[in-house]
């Protein structure tokens, strides 16, 4: 994937490794498609719907593995973007 070459401080589930990134403005993240966008993403270009979600959030809240993406339930609010309450970011 994209982002600086780093590794997560603990072992990630195998299915998340390909989608793991570290980005300077997001920290340790998994590139995911939000549940409310999954149908549009599956019918279009997946990469248009991928966004970095904190690893801790993905691991704690759960995820669905698709052949070409990871799906998570999280809020997306325009114009803010991804809206996650709590301390999930890791640098």
Asked whether residue 89 is assigned to any structural domain, the reply reads no
Asked whether residue 8 is assigned to any structural domain, the reply reads no
Asked whether residue 27 is assigned to any structural domain, the reply reads yes
Q: What is the pLDDT of residue 9?
A: 82
Separation between Cα atoms, residue 6 and residue 23, nearest integer Å: 9
Residue 37 makes CB contacts below 8 A (sequence gap 6+) with 49, 76
Beta bridge partners, 70, equal 65
Separation between Cα atoms, residue 26 and residue 7, nearest integer Å: 14
pTM of structure:
0.90
Asked whether residue 90 is assigned to any structural domain, the reply reads no
Asked whether residue 49 is assigned to any structural domain, the reply reads yes
Residue percentage of the chain with pLDDT more than 90: 87
Six token digits for residue 73: 């339930």
Asked whether residue 3 is assigned to any structural domain, the reply reads no
Of 80 and 1, more confident? 80
List the domain range (segments joined by +) for residue 34. Answer: 14-83
Asked whether residue 1 is assigned to any structural domain, the reply reads no
Asked whether residue 7 is assigned to any structural domain, the reply reads no
Number of domains comprising the chain: 1
């Amino acid at each position: 994937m994209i982002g600086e070459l780093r590794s997560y401080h603990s072992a990630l589930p195998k299915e998340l490794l390909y989608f793991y990134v570290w980005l300077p403005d997001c920290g340790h993240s998994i590139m995911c498609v939000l549940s409310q966008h999954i149908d549009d993403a599956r019918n279009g270009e997946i990469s248009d719907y991928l966004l970095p979600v904190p690893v801790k959030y993905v691991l704690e809240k759960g995820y669905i593995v698709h052949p070409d993406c990871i799906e998570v339930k999280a809020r997306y609010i325009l114009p803010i973007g991804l809206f996650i309450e709590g301390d999930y970011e890791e640098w």
